[in-house]
Amino acid sequence: MRALVTGGAGFIGSHLVERLLAEGYSVTVLDDLSGGRLENLDGVRDHPGLRVIVGDVRDRAVLQAALEKVEIVFHLAAVVGVPRVLADPLRAIRVNVEGTERVLEACAERGISVCMASSSEVYGKGVRWPAGEADDLQLGPPTVARWAYAASKLLDEHLAMAWARRGLRVSVVRYFNVYGPRADPHGYGYVIARLMDQALRGEPLTVYGDGRQTRSFIYVEDAVEGTLRAGWLPVAFGQIFNIGHPEEISILALAERIRLISGSRAPIRFLPFSEVYGPDFEEVPRRVPDVSKARVLLGFEARVTLDDGLQRTWEWWRTCRRV
């Protein structure tokens, strides 16, 4: 079997590629390296089953070449992470929407199944927590650029559901704050990557706002397992799944834990949101997944505790990360 991983040189993508190769797949990676890095694939660079194509997922010729002999696609290529989206919302919308449109159409034409990455960002400010896949969504207005990401991913989800109605075998995974080795301090996996970079440099750990906002973090190995099940199991087709860990933590408590694990003696520095993101910014005060649908339909549950995952991530940061 050959799988295509779009965004395969990115943080989550590269872990997925490693796992697919370990499962005996041949893997094609399509990545434009705008957020991903070839070094993320260093561990499998010489693997005979790996083929890497550097190119834009929106380019039809490139996509056609990437889909050669492929039976399953994991579509992760996107502009992700609040800072990247704020830096260029137009690019984020275009890459995320046009990219997904091309991938889904190409897969439908060829009868290839797809698992598409979305984000817990689509819940926006949330209607209730823990949030379930069938819940209403609450996004802020288009004058606040942050919501461009949620809106683009939401449109991607609609595209997936529309194609599913036309017979495409497609599933959607909504990731809830994935973290782990190789997380990108400028993009996805932002807060943990940033705090670990700061700890490594002996700089103050930056907490935005009062630090009472909460998130639920899932270790990348778990996120990969959930993604594979959503891609593999026929019960997942036409469905959307939260892929997250139900453990909730405030960002201040997270910073304190990272300080402890890293042995950093630098203080915690509070920064107002307006100073970091500018005046037109809305924060998501809380985010927790309801994980029951993935448990019941996919038999998937995140296994790695936050403490264990942070330890493993720090170990990688300490030994491998070039800051």
Catalytic annotation, residues: 149
Q: How far is the CB of 201 from ligand UDP (least distance, A)?
A: 13
The answer to the question of residue 208 lying near ligand UDP (CB under 6 A) is yes
Closest approach of ligand UDP to the CB of residue 2, in Å? 32
* Amino acid at residue number 239: Q
Which of 73, 164, 207, 288 touches ligand UDP (CB under 6 A)? 207
How far is it, in rounded angstroms, from Cα 299 to Cα 123? Answer: 23
Backbone angles phi and psi of 12, in degrees to 5: -70, -40
Three-state SS string over 205-274 comes to: EEEECCCCCEECCEEHHHHHHHHHHHHHCHHHCCCEEEECCCCCEEHHHHHHHHHHHHCCCCCEEEECHH
Sole window of 133-141, 187-195, 229-237, 297-305 interacting with ligand UDP (rule: CB under 6 A): 187-195
Residues 237-266 that bind ligand UDP (CB under 6 A): 251
Residue placing its CB nearer to ligand UDP in the complex, 40 or 119: 119
Residues 6+ apart with CB under 8 A from 6: 13, 30, 31, 57, 66, 73, 74, 75, 76, 77, 99, 103
Q: String of b and e for 89-126 (b: at least 16 CB within 10 Å)? A: beebbebbbebbebbbebbbeeebbbbbbbbbbbbbbb
Which region holds residue 263: left if phi is over 0, alpha if psi is between -120 and 50, else beta? left
Nearer to ligand UDP, 121 or 157 (CB): 121
Closest contact distance (angstroms) between CB of 267 and ligand UDP is 14
Looking at residues 109 to 148 of the shown chain, list those that interact with ligand UDP (rule: CB under 6 A): 121
Both tokens of 112, joined, read: 């290839």
What is the rounded distance in angstroms from the CA atom of residue 266 to the CA atom of residue 268?
7
Whichever of 9 and 284 has its CB closer to ligand UDP, that residue is: 284
Taking the least distance from each CB to ligand UDP, the nearer of 208 and 300 is: 208
Cα gap 188→35, rounded to integer Å: 9
Question: Which one of the spans 131-139, 165-173, 190-198, 239-247 is the region binding ligand UDP (CB under 6 A)?
Answer: 190-198
Contact with ligand UDP (CB under 6 A): which of 34, 213, 250, 292?
A: 213
The interface region with ligand UDP, picked from 63-71, 108-116, 201-209, 221-229 by CB under 6 A, is 201-209
Instruction: Name the residue nearer to ligand UDP (CB basis): 72 or 207.
Output: 207
- As a whole number of angstroms, the distance between CA 14 and CA 158 comes to 26
Minimum CB distance to ligand UDP smaller for 92 or for 207:
207
Interaction with ligand UDP in 65-104: which residues (CB under 6 A)?
Answer: 82
Q: Which of residues 22-61 bind ligand UDP (CB under 6 A)?
A: none
Contact flag: residue 151 with ligand UDP (CB under 6 A): no
| Residue 177 in contact with ligand UDP, rule: CB under 6 A | yes
Angle between helices 190-201 and 306-320 (to 10 degrees): 50
* Interface positions with ligand UDP (CB under 6 A): 82, 121, 177, 190-191, 194, 206-208, 213, 215, 251, 283-284
